[in-house]
Amino acid sequence: MQKALAMWLMLAAGGGATQPDAAPLQVVQSATDRVLQIVQDSQLAAPISQERRRAEVQRIADRLFDFPEMARRALALHWRERSPQEQSEFVAVFKQLLGRAYIGRLEGYTGEQIVYLGETVDAEFATVRSKIVTGRGTEIGVDYRLHLVGSRWMVYDVAVQGVSFVANYRGQFDKIIRASSYAALVRELKPWLWLLAAVLAVLSVRRNLEYQSEVALWQSTVRSAPGNPRAHNNLGVAYELEGQLIRARVEYAEALKLEPRYVAARENLTRAMRR
């Protein structure tokens, strides 16, 4: 009886569940810091070391991202219709697609500042909020969505400027499957792996090739998320850099309208009005 009571007290004190190894924010920040160290390592920058560098980044990504869960969410209703073999095949293809895209994005890193804004935890789910500040002062909001897998927090989705990565793929995949078939989707995905491999080769030579026009990038973001004040502010910065002051002022004003306490937008509008 005493042993049973002692065991019950231990479980009650510990919540009866395995405690996470690290907090969500710590997981994301630690993984990102390690990857950036690898990307900026001059010894690994040589062409002969490219495969080693990418293998090390992929190893970190494998511990950060829950690729099977991301694949399941991306297929949504179509996941249950797949056989275990098809599910395994899709996870492998999807993992390669996301892994190469992740590595390609990081190989385009040119010293942007990454700011972590905090985390929210709700039972087995969490969100880590961050933003990327470019050398030109534009801000890109990046939210990591995590869930507990055993004792580890793992990322199952990433939202950039409020646009969910997984939801974006889900819509595209569903459209292809409904218009044709699952087999057609897999056929379309595989060539993308070759394309991403080619993009990575280009990024190794010229890292900042991703967005040839910041105006086009932020115009697209504003269309996707018209209620996002940071998107309007960043579009204003892009316009101002191209000398389009009237359009820049309009975007800064819109950012302030959406978020009156947005200091960066207010400072940008003040500067633009003086020019």
CA–CA separation, 20 vs 150, rounded Å? Answer: 8
**Which region among 13-17, 53-57, 83-87, 100-104 has the lowest average model confidence (pLDDT)?**
13-17
Chain centroid to CA 257: 27
Strands 113-122 and 163-164: unpaired
DSSP-derived letter for residue 210 is: S
CA–CA separation, 23 vs 20, rounded Å? Answer: 7
Rg (the chain; Cα; Å): 22
**Which region among 24-28, 90-94, 99-103 has the lowest average model confidence (pLDDT)?**
99-103
Tens of pLDDT, residues 149-194: 999 999 999 988 787 888 888 888 888 899 889 988 888 777 655 4
User: Helices 165-179 and 182-205, interaxial angle, to 10°?
Assistant: 140
CA–CA separation, 270 vs 275, rounded Å? Answer: 9
Query: 153: which strand partners?
Result: 148
The amino acid sitting at 203 is L
What's the CATH superfamily of 16-205?
Tgt2/MlaC (3.10.450.710)
Q: What is the CATH number of domain 214-274?
A: 1.25.40.10
In the chain, ranges of CATH 1.25.40.10 domains: 214-274
In the chain, ranges of CATH 3.10.450.710 domains: 16-205
pTM (whole model) above 0.75 = no
Tens of pLDDT, residues 226-249: 888 888 888 888 888 777 889 999
Please answer whether residues 139 and 13 qualify as being in contact, where contact means their C-beta atoms are separated by less than 8 angstroms.
no
Q: Which residues contact 127 (CB under 8 A, 6 or more apart)?
A: 24, 119, 120, 143, 144, 145, 146
